[in-house]
Structure 1
């Protein structure tokens, strides 16, 4: 594996308007999103996405520092120059491209519907008509439900964990989210007691996006090129696979880019 003169260092810091010029500030959400990024007792995030970001920073020879903020504040923090990169499972969509730029994708997993056991639900407009579906606010899954499930009632949550709690309590009928996040919930004690997988929704690039990429300011072309080269490098040299196999038993990169 190629050795780099400058290794990336990821440390947790509070948001601040100023940072040293040679530090690349990488924004993660404060909300837990297992197994991608979950904060420990100190607030420092850990998980697959943190490890992959660390490896990509190293490959790009960037000295990276983690800063955390609420999910729906990440794009405003980026455009206000308080962070330089968003690394928080941000889907690449045309709507977001109107405000920010993206790196190449670094993973892509499907959206699935999970609902209460014993009730008739399907991941289609007809299959959820009249039902209440919980989604994380400002997420692609919220956009999908609003676009494709017009006869369902949508309930928004600040975090996906809150949707899980209400699903377990019977206050909603289902939730739509990333497959891996919901598989993690279904494996929990509460998930096993209450819920089951109802199926994968039909993919729609306009709402669900073209994969997960790093969010960047539109003018930061050099940084985008550095990240794209680093993503390709960690994919080619085995680093990506080595990190992924610590968390998953399949390659979550998804279909190759055409």
Structure 2
């Protein structure tokens, strides 16, 4: 009797282990449905059009990647500084929002391979004259988007300047035009295509050098992911990025929005 009870208990334990393993396997996502966090306030990468719909390079890229993945994707609009918290809280599964791959961010989240890489530039009135050393910009007001690599770089490099932080880059450009800041530091493409080449940018220009220090600006922008999903969803995105670059889709989107190749450090 005692032996039978031991055998029965062992069998029940084995069944419990199998059931647990089966449940875990069943709960593992197959990534046929993916929620992608986007910003929607960073033209020409992502913005909300007059019709209320999201549009832009990264919106089109996200849809192209989803087509390669054969996944049903939902785009979830979120302020930039809330994207990583949303990822960690499992409100989204991935981020496609010009999130630069930096060592600091890699402590918190994982990334796909980079899909674009452009430097940062200052924008100011076209006739403005500045000394771009830290001492030369002492007392100047520099507008930056909050929670970005540009904020970190400006705060660390120009310690004697007043760093003015904004929820969106568009707000920084508005304050530049109104005279509330002297300069704004942003991604070259976002500043060029999202401001300088628009009617609002008349009378303004890039000023000073370009900045691409890997310590601050990383190795390009990639898809942000939870660390636990790096080997599954991360691999899928890496394969999809490689596919759209190989089949010409990436170049087609690049040429639709930009006058230069943004896939590497060709734009200065």
TM-score, normalised to structure 1, is 0.86
Residue deviations 1:144-201, cap 9 Å, x none? 10111122110011111111111101111000001111113112223213x2210333
**For 1:164, which of 159, 173, 186 is the aligned residue?**
173
**Where does structure 1 lack aligned partners over 5 or more consecutive residues?**
1-18
Contact in 1 for aligned 2:121/2:211 (Cα 8 Å): no
Instruction: Please give the alpha-carbon distance, in whole angstroms, between the structure 2 residues aligned to 1:35 and 1:127.
Output: 32
Q: Residues 181 and 255 (structure 1 numbering): CA distance in 2 closer, same or farther, change over 3 Å?
A: closer
State the match for 1:23 in structure 2.
33
2:31 touches 2:233 (CA, 8 Å); kept in 1? no
Do residues 241 (structure 1) and 214 (structure 2) align? Answer: no
Structure 2: which 5+ runs fail to align? Answer: 1-28
Are 1:229 and 2:262 an aligned pair?
A: no
Report what 2:198 is aligned to.
188
Which residue is equivalent to 1:75?
Answer: 84
Moved segments of 4+, more than 6 Å: none
TM-superposition CA deviations, 1:88-121 (whole Å, max 9, x none): 1111111111111000000011100011233322
Equivalent residues of 2:31, 2:71 under 8 A apart: no
Tell me how far apart the structure 2 counterparts of residues 43 and 28 of structure 1 sit (CA, whole Å).
Answer: 15
Higher mean C-alpha deviation, range 111-120 or range 152-161: 111-120
1:175 aligns with 2:184: yes
Cα RMSD over matched residues? 2.0
Matched-pair contact (CA < 8 Å) for 1:102–1:213: yes
Aligned to 2:130: 121
Deviations along 1:174-233, one digit per CA (max 9) or x if unpaired, are 00001111113112223213x221033332112111100000000002100111011111
Q: Assess, with a 3 A threshold, how the Cα gap between structure 1 residues 122 and 50 changes in structure 2: closer, same or farther.
A: farther
Structure 2 CA distance for aligned equivalents of residues 146 and 204 of structure 1: 14
Greater share of residues in helix? 2
TM-score of the pair, normalised by structure 2: 0.83
**CA deviation map 1:106-143 (0-9, x unaligned):** 00111000112333225442442321100001111000
Q: Which residue is equivalent to 2:6?
A: none
- State the secondary structure of the residue aligned to 1:176: strand
**Which residue among 158, 173, 177 is the counterpart of 1:149?**
158
Structure 2: how far apart are the matches of 1:112 and 1:80?
33
Aligned residue in 1 for 2:42? 33
Corresponding position: 1:50 with 2:41: no
Q: Tell me the distance in 2 between the aligned counterparts of 1:210 and 1:124.
A: 24
